Structure 1
Amino acid sequence: MRWGPLTHEDAPLLAGFWAAAGTGQSYTLDDVREQLSHHLIDLAEGTLAARDGDRIAAVGYLPVRQSAEGGSHLMRLWGGVHPAYRGQGHGRRILDWAIAAAPRLSEKAFPGVPVEILIVGGEDDRRLAALARATGFAAVRTFAEMTRSLPDDLPPLSLPEGIAVATWSPELDDEARRVRNESFRDHWGTVPHTRESWSGHLTGSHNFRPESSFLALAGDRAVGVLMTHARGPHTAWIQVVGTLREWRGRGVAGALIAHALAAFARQGYLSAGLGVDLGNPTGAVRVYTRSGFTITRRDTNYVLHLVQGETRDEATVAVHE
């Protein structure tokens, strides 16, 4: 087994790893190339892979965030272990590496800001739950994926008074980002998008579908946003849906979703999906349920708080309360 950072040449091997890892989402070769070239990942310091011949057996991918607010820098560790190599300690080695690497990476991006690591796994993943507990992580949140089929039983479109729906365009992009940032300020674990990260995560991805992304406008001001990626050839995945606080409770999100679902059906998609924090304070789950979505997967979020500047041999971890 050879351990070392990922390189751009690893894209085909990494795509094969993700296909075998059972994460619940498939990644195309183009998806993986985007991951390896993302502006927030330092391949040399922020990735680690175990290679067995021409197969990746385990991987850790630890990008910094685009910004740090709320008193800490929450870094999500992506990765896992190939099913053929589980039970051999590789997952623990990835976590130990991340615990050592996160403070160094965070200090470069946000000097002096406390750092936390987030790992996510299926609600019934006992192996990950045990590993998380053994390394000091605490379960803090449950997220879910919700899906629905198309085109049957589409919700009726009822626009709130004074609201019009516009398809995303480059001229509306700053408004879309502004609404996303303002509407997500009270959402756990989120931070504002910069123009660069918004492009990197949303509009610059090859999966972005501008014709399937919409804004709710009150006059010339956006008050709601819905941004869509394609997930495979048949699924429209709602990456972002948000409403400004002062417009919540007026049916803006429901109208955006109804408009989007009708568009998805016309565009030939067979299903739609989105992710949601089950502890979301805005009542989002109810809105999505009324729009025909049902929960198809639950994921547990585990967080570990780290002391800035600690080294691997000296690391002492404190469980996030």
Structure 2
Amino acid sequence: MVAKGEVILLPEAPQIDGLSFRHFQGKSDYPKMIDVLQESKDTDQIEEVDSLEVLSAKFAHLNHCNPYQDMLFVEIGARVIGFSQVYWEDATHTGRRYVHEGYLVPVWRGKGIGWAMLNFNEKRILEIASTHAQNEPGVFQVKAANSEVAKTQLLQDAGYRPVRYFCEMVRPDLENIPHHALPPGLEIRPVLPEHYRPIWEANNEAMGDHWDHVDYSEEDYQFWLQGDEEFQPELWKIAWDIATNQVAGMVLGFIDEDQNTKFNRKRGWTEDICVRRPWRNRGLAHALIIETLREFKSRGMTESALNADTENLSGAFQLYESLGFHTVKTTTVYQKPIGSP
């Protein structure tokens, strides 16, 4: 059992006065993590705002991660300047992947600390993988936005290769929203609490065809209900089949007020766009996106954004472009086979 905050010795770490490494200490680390996240993201042009409340909720519902063993904290003196985390998951279509992520404040980059953090992550993953069945060796996986130049270079130097590309797309205005009716036999209903579980299960099923899908867990569901800032059912557009009373498809829109304030914009996010198989190829996603854009406009928003897989086989990327969305940023998924040097 690893003691809280126990010091970690990393032989490959650079010789820097005051530099030390340790394990996770518990909730007292959350504010320090927020500081590192925001300084890193601001420098790397990642337009996100992290909150203590959401971070706390996430850590209350982790999957396949023991933060006391699977995290590394970097300090100079008494100040946390970076941290990393590893976990594993089984993707529906691509098998087991061991995911790791790390953040380091910019002033301390380029000094060998990031390399030491990556080595720690990989060694910890190898320890975890050694306890799993060897017939599925899996891969190391990390994501990096195109604006994260230092991180991208570090991954490439360590033998990681791009395997998939995702993009952030923006519709810069909410004018001239076209009309597109729902397919016959479907209707949009106001979301009630008793709908949450059916919506969640339908989302999991519909998203199951995506390249990067991992089946949702009960921990995921509880976080969604209790701590996810994107949980805004008053904005959702859920299509129900009138005859069968089943969820046919959805768009789970949300408005991030903190993000809008920081970046001086009025943006609504058109996310979790999905249609279950029996109702596909009928224009349902198109109609639900249109309804979501109208909802945002009625609430004073002036633009919308979404995230998309550039290789989505359903043609979603082309649909989004036809509705006025264009790519503003890309994120690359990097992988390296377990056991590679």
Provide the TM-score with structure 2 as the length reference.
Answer: 0.81
What's the counterpart of residue 260 of structure 1? 292
**Taking structure 1 as reference, are residues 279 and 85 closer, same or farther at Cα in structure 2, changes over 3 Å only?**
same
**Residues in 2 aligned to 1:139 and 1:53: alpha-carbon distance in whole angstroms:** 36
**Taking structure 1 as reference, are residues 297 and 71 closer, same or farther at Cα in structure 2, changes over 3 Å only?**
closer
Shift of 1:124: 5.2
RMSD of Structure 2 on Structure 1 (CA): 2.4
Secondary structure of the residue that 2:50 maps to in structure 1? coil
**Residues in 1 aligned to 2:273 and 2:94: alpha-carbon distance in whole angstroms:** 25
Indicate whether 1:221 and 2:246 are aligned.
yes
Over residues 233-253 of structure 1, what are the superposed CA-to-partner deviations in whole Å (9 max), with x where a residue is unaligned? 443334411112332221111
Of residues 203-212 and 280-289 in structure 1, the stretch that sits farther from structure 2 once superposed is 203-212
Shift of 1:54: 4.9
Equivalent of residue 330 in structure 2, options 267, 283, 298: 298
What's the counterpart of residue 38 of structure 2? 19
What's the counterpart of residue 226 of structure 2? 204
**Residues in 1 aligned to 2:38 and 2:94: alpha-carbon distance in whole angstroms:** 36
What's the counterpart of residue 43 of structure 1? 67
Secondary structure of the residue that 1:168 maps to in structure 2? coil
Aligned residue pair count:
306
1:1-321 to 2 correspondences below 5 Å: 1-6=19-24, 7-22=26-41, 23=44, 24=46, 25-40=48-63, 41-65=65-89, 67-70=90-93, 72-105=95-128, 111-112=133-134, 113-123=136-146, 125-149=148-172, 151-200=174-223, 202-207=224-229, 208-219=231-242, 220-233=245-258, 234=260, 235-306=267-338, 316-317=339-340
Alpha carbons 2:239, 2:247 under 8 Å: kept: yes
One-letter identity of the residue aligned with 1:222: V
Of residues 210-219 and 29-38 in structure 1, the stretch that sits farther from structure 2 once superposed is 29-38
**Taking structure 1 as reference, are residues 43 and 172 closer, same or farther at Cα in structure 2, changes over 3 Å only?**
same
Shift of 1:141: 0.8
Over residues 174-200 of structure 1, what are the superposed CA-to-partner deviations in whole Å (9 max), with x where a residue is unaligned? 322232222222211211113331332
**Residues in 1 aligned to 2:142 and 2:178: alpha-carbon distance in whole angstroms:** 35
Over residues 93-146 of structure 1, what are the superposed CA-to-partner deviations in whole Å (9 max), with x where a residue is unaligned? 2211121222444566x6554332221112254433332122221110111011
Of residues 151-160 and 8-17 in structure 1, the stretch that sits farther from structure 2 once superposed is 151-160
**Residues in 1 aligned to 2:70 and 2:58: alpha-carbon distance in whole angstroms:** 12
One-letter identity of the residue aligned with 2:55: V
Over residues 205-226 of structure 1, what are the superposed CA-to-partner deviations in whole Å (9 max), with x where a residue is unaligned? 2411111123211121111122
One-letter identity of the residue aligned with 1:34: A
Larger Rg: 2
**Taking structure 1 as reference, are residues 191 and 179 closer, same or farther at Cα in structure 2, changes over 3 Å only?**
same
**Residues in 2 aligned to 1:248 and 1:9: alpha-carbon distance in whole angstroms:** 47
Shift of 1:53: 3.7
Of residues 233-242 and 78-87 in structure 1, the stretch that sits farther from structure 2 once superposed is 233-242
Q: Which structure 2 residue ranges, 5 or more long, are not aligned? A: 1-18, 261-266
Shift of 1:56: 2.7
**Residues in 2 aligned to 1:228 and 1:2: alpha-carbon distance in whole angstroms:** 43
Alpha carbons 2:93, 2:211 under 8 Å: kept: no
Secondary structure of the residue that 1:62 maps to in structure 2? strand
User: In percent, how many aligned pairs have the same letter?
Assistant: 21
Secondary structure of the residue that 1:298 maps to in structure 2? strand
Shift of 1:277: 0.8
Q: Which runs of 4+ in 1 moved over 6 A?
A: none
Over residues 38-86 of structure 1, what are the superposed CA-to-partner deviations in whole Å (9 max), with x where a residue is unaligned? 3224211221121224543222122333x55446222332322211111
One-letter identity of the residue aligned with 2:22: G
